[in-house]
Amino acid sequence: MALKKLSKEKVGEALAELSKFRLIAPAKSDDVVVFKQISDPAEAYLEYGNSTVPPKKFAFPQTETLFRFVTGSPDLTAKNVEEEGTTVIFGLRPCDARAMAIVDKLFSWDFDDPYYLKRRELTTLVGMACVEPPSVNCFCTSLGGSPFGTEGLDLLLTDMGDYYLVEALTDKGEKLEETLSSQLEDAPADDEKKAKDMAAASEGKIRRSINTEGIPEKLPDLWENGLWKKVSAACLGCGICTFLCPTCHCFDIQDEVEESGEGRRCRMWDSCMFEEYTVHASGHNPRPTRKERTRNRINHKYSYYPAHFDVIACVGCGRCINLCPVNIDILEILDQVVDA
């Protein structure tokens, strides 16, 4: 596939072209960068490190309707995801795209989740390579990812200074290139090599790492180990590590009813770090303290998920480290697992 380039002068034009779809792009919101639907190309903020909140909500909304009902009526109306239309997520980081590829496995496991899978089918992912690792706590290379990784992406952009190098990776990516044919030009012949060198340079700047080999097999043997009490001692149970995690997919289901009797059953992000997550109707809780909940979080990502899907449910984005209010560091926990 011949590489293309998108001149930075034409980015606005390209985004305007893409706004005929539901266009999602990084944008400033107060002090942080988040992904949001944009209608004006000027809203897009592409010179960002990584977004505080991952773009997962555009595949797996924080709250979504499963079906609508009227109390007492037998008719249930399922939400039609198709109505949301074709979506382009523009400029997401390779780790967040890889996270979607990892979560796809769960939502198609034995039972197809029609809401998630339809939304993914309608979505094209345009990645933005990390020419510089966006955070001191990036560790994607330890998990099989890369600042220039392409897993899950349909198209990868690389910032070459005056222009973005554009690489189509899938049929969806090629289609998008066709949509942007007026904005794209052929890329210089030596850009492929240049990009490879840039990728190696960026990987070399990643400061944090963990050797994951053997961790999935070792974790079940550390069930009663004292480390869980130690590493969870400072935890406030706020759940930010899970809400901001691009691979965390746990959800609650709740019903809402208006006074008119019209209601909806919806699902919303939930967190294994909350007490209510596992408490039985009897009051019994199989994970009564933050020790058990932290142990489950780490085991789920680093042992249970690989047992089912042959991949660790962590992409090394570093958000849970950067944003934990009490500085709990998943790499320090994993170091203790390795040393135990």
Binding site for another protein (CB under 8 A): 66-67, 69, 71, 74, 76, 78, 106-107, 109-115, 220, 223-224, 249-255, 257, 263, 265, 267, 270, 272, 277-282, 286-287, 292, 296, 299-300, 303-304, 307-308
The CB-of-126 to another protein minimum distance in angstroms stands at 27
Query: Would you say 8 or 105 has its CB closer to another protein?
Result: 105
Nearest distance, CB of residue 16 and another protein, angstroms: 36
The rounded distance, in Å, linking the Cα atoms of 169 and 112 is 25
Q: What type of residue sits at position 116?
A: Y
Q: How far is the CB of 111 from another protein (least distance, A)?
A: 4
Helix and strand element counts for the chain (H, E): 12, 12
Which lies closer to another protein via its Cβ, residue 52 or residue 225? 225
Query: What span, in angstroms and rounded, lies between the C-alpha atoms of 231 and 252?
Result: 26
> DSSP letter string over 255-315?
EEE-TTSEEEEEEEE--TTSGGGT--TTS--SS-SHHHHHHHHHHIIIIIHHHHHSS-S--
The DSSP bridge partners found for residue 92 are 127
Give the separation between CA 160 and CA 5, rounded to whole angstroms: 9
Residue (201 or 307) nearer to another protein, CB: 307
At which residue do the structure tokens 């049929």 appear? 171
119 or 249, CB closer to another protein? 249
List alpha helices for the chain, DSSP H: 11-18, 94-107, 114-121, 171-179, 191-204, 215-218, 227-232, 240-243, 290-299, 305-309, 319-323, 330-339
CB of 9 to another protein, least distance (A): 45
Q: Which one, 37 or 254, has the nearer CB to another protein? A: 254
Nearer to another protein, 34 or 227 (CB): 227
Residue 110 CB, nearest approach to another protein (Å)? 6
Distance between the two ends of the chain, CA-based, in angstroms?
48
Residue 181 or 254: which CB sits closer to another protein? 254
Residue 189 exposed, middle or buried by CB count within 10 Å (0-12, 13-18, 19+): exposed
Residue 289 pairs with which residues in a beta bridge?
none
CB of 246 to another protein, least distance (A): 15
For another protein, which is the closer residue by CB, 32 or 78?
A: 78
Min CB(83)–another protein separation in Å: 15
Q: Please, what is the minimum distance in Å from the beta carbon of residue 105 to another protein? A: 11
At 73 the three-state DSSP class reads coil
- For the CA atoms of 102, 66, 63, 47, the dihedral, rounded to the nearest 10 degrees, stands at 50
Going by the DSSP 8-state scheme, the letter that residue 141 receives in this structure is G
CA 321 vs. chain centroid, Å, equals 15
Q: How far is the CB of 8 from another protein (least distance, A)?
A: 41
- Judged by CB, which is closer to another protein: 46, or 117? 117
Residue count of the chain? 340
